[in-house]
Amino acid sequence: MIEAIRALAPHVRAQADRIERERRLPPEVVGALRDAGVFRLCVPRALGGVEADPETLLAVLEELAYADGSTGWCAMIGATSGLMSAYLPEAEARAIYGASPDVVTGGVFAPVGRAVRENGHYRVTGRWRFASGCQHADWLMGGCLVRDGDAPQARMVFFPASEVEVIDTWTVSGLCGTGSHDIAVRDLAVPITRSVAPSHEPPVAEGALYAFPLFGLLALGIAAVGLGIARRARDEIVALAGRKTPGGGRRTLAERSAVQAQLAEAEATRAAAHAFLREVVDAAWAEARAGGRIDVPARTRLRLAATHATAAAARAVDIAYAAAGGTAVYAESPLQRTFRDVHVVTQHMMVAQPTWELAGRLLLGLETDTSML
């Protein structure tokens, strides 16, 4: 699969300007990702999925993000959304994920919708922001607070994309091509069996991949996108430094000691973060394969490594952007796009500032809610 993605990458790069301009992935790019099995990376083999190991998942996402940040992001959303197939009752999982090898799912975890139980279904109303890839998804999900008993419970509810309103809101600074518009449903009847509660219910499917915490794996995918963007920025500054001679000077950027030091710092920052991420993922994968579960200390390290890698990726891009000088401010500069894209990646709640605090509390041995870990 990695070789297939590398072969696809030049085609994705050639579409980058169109992706940015149209604020969504072109149908041919989506089709190529479908054909490569990207959206089925986390779907169980029993449903016709790939059920890939985490290393493969992260490598695929990094390669796609290297080619184009928005494509990497949409691939990450589609792939990790496939994890929900492991939590659905088998009949519903087969109806959604097993009916076609081409199915794409997406959605928003934040429980901002409302679901009221009526006999065997929920009556769902809600509007969700940041629904990346919603225009090419077949099924979408929205997090809801369900009034079913004494206390409300957060659940993810599935609905066919044809029943969802897409509200054009995605006019943004970076990751412009992800089409992360708002989505909404009103008074929609959804079978109760077409909902999951991954924060407090175990997966139905077995396998080491599903021992990974769902939100932790999402955070790892976000980090992989950031690292792919950072690697692209590294290669862009290397190429630029060899050919650019600043006005009034005689030496190229590559011949200047300040730029040499900047490049070295950026690469060390990116590569160290990548190594730490791989170390903790490998350890967690070994734990999952051996015992079928990953304990809280290992889950803490997964989230810590993901958050650190995302921040380090942004730092590496910032250094490359600064080293490029005025060239990087033009819209046609790939370095400008990497700068804008990576600073949208850092804003995701799974790798944002509060996740440092979450990891720090756990490292200090303080009592902490780990349901989102």
CATH number of the structural domain spanning residue 232:
1.20.140.10
Q: Same domain, yes or no, for 229 and 279?
A: yes
- Strand residues in 14-150 grouped as ranges (E): 105-118, 121-131, 139-147
Clarify whether residues 186 and 112 are in a common domain: yes
Give residue 248's pLDDT band: very low, low, confident or very high (50, 70, 90): confident
The confidence score (pLDDT) of residue 135 equals 98
Is 206 inside any structural domain? no
Q: Is pTM beyond 0.85 here?
A: yes
Which distant-in-sequence residues (6+ apart) come within 8 Å of 136 by Cβ? 24, 25, 27, 30, 74, 104, 179
Give yes or no for residue 285 having a pLDDT over 70: yes
pLDDT for the residue numbered 317: 98
User: Tokens 């756990």 label which residue?
Assistant: 362
Q: Kindly state whether residue 91 falls inside one of the protein's structural domains.
A: no
**Mean pLDDT for the stretch of residues 281-285:** 97
Flag whether 316 is in a domain.
yes
Tokens (6 digits) for 27:
């149908």
Q: Does 205 map to a domain?
A: no
147 falls in which pLDDT band (50, 70, 90)? confident
Hey, what amino acid is at 147?
R
Residues 229, 217: Cα–Cα separation, whole Å: 19
Which pLDDT score is estimated for 99? 85
pLDDT of residue 101: 87
Number of H helices, E strands in the chain: 11, 7
Phi-psi region of 52 (alpha: psi -120 to 50; beta: other; left: phi over 0): beta
Q: Pick the residue with more confidence: 246 or 136?
A: 136
How would you classify residue 62: left for phi > 0, otherwise alpha for psi between -120 and 50, otherwise beta? alpha
Read off the pLDDT band of 189 (50, 70, 90): very high
On the CB side of 367, CA atoms within 13 Å amount to 0
Say yes or no: 257 and 342 in one domain: yes
Alpha-carbon distance of 46 to 38, in angstroms, equals 17
Contact residues for 317 (Cβ-Cβ < 8 A; gap 6+): 229, 230, 233, 266, 335, 338, 339, 342
246 and 337 fall within a common domain: yes
CATH number at residue 166: 2.40.110.10
- Which pLDDT value is given to residue 260? 98
pLDDT of residue 181: 98
pLDDT digits (tens, 9 = 90+) for 211-245: 999 999 999 999 999 999 999 999 999 999 999 99
SS3 184: strand
**Mean pLDDT of the chain, nearest integer:** 96
pLDDT-derived band at 149 (thresholds 50, 70, 90) equals: low
**Span 75-98, pLDDT tens digits:** 999 999 999 999 999 999 999 999
Q: Residue 336 is part of which domain span?
A: 212-363
Same domain, 176 and 300: no
- Residue with the bigger pLDDT between 246 and 278: it is 278
310 in the same domain as 340:
yes
Which of 86, 120, 136 terminates a domain? The answer is 86
Q: Of the ranges 43-52, 69-78, 142-151, 250-259, which one carries the lowest mean pLDDT score?
A: 142-151
If you average pLDDT over residues 188-209, what whole number do you get?
95
Interatomic CA distance for residues 132 and 141, integer angstroms: 11
371 domain residue, yes or no: no
Confidence of residue 371 (pLDDT cuts 50, 70, 90): confident
* 204 part of a folded domain: no
Listed residues 86, 120, 154: the one ending a domain: 86
Same-domain pairing of 188 and 217: no
Is the pLDDT confidence value at 26 over 80? yes
Same domain, 189 and 226: no
Domain for residue 116, yes or no?
yes
The CATH number for 64's domain is 1.10.540.10
Q: Tell whether 185 and 269 lie within a shared domain.
A: no
Asked if residue 358 has pLDDT above 90, the reply is yes
Pair (35, 142) in one structural domain: no
Write the pLDDT tens digit of every residue in 121-137: 999 999 999 999 999 99
> Of 52, 86, 120, which marks where a domain is finished?
86
Domain count, the chain: 3
